[in-house]
Amino acid sequence: MNKNDIMKRLTAVFRDVFDDDSIVISNATTSADIDDWDSIEHINLVGAVEDEFGLRFKMKEVSGMKNVGEMIDIICERGSR
C-alpha cells in the first residue's frame, strides 16, 4: 500500500469520525485544522484508524504524532492490511 492509498483511506476515516464529508486532509493537517478535533475525538480517531489499518499504535507514537503525515509514516512502517 502506498501513501496515496493510505491518505484516501484516512480521509474516509476522518470524515466518518468527525461526521463531516467536506474534510480534506493533507500531510500537514493537525488538530488545529479541524474544529471538533479535541482530546476525546483524538481517542476516537486513533481507534478508528487502528481498526481501519489493522494495527495498534504505541502510546509514544500517539503522543508524538504532530500531523497526519507522521501518522501515515507510522502506518507505512508497520504495514497495513
pLDDT of res. 40: 93
pLDDT at 65: 92
Mean pLDDT of 25-39: 95
All domains in the chain, ordered by first residue = 3-78 (1.10.1200.10)
- Residues 40 and 4: their CA atoms lie apart, in Å, by 27
Separation CA 26–CA 69 (nearest Å) = 7
This prediction has a pTM of 0.92
Other beta carbons within 10 angstroms of residue 57's beta carbon come to 19
What per-residue confidence (pLDDT) applies to 78? 83
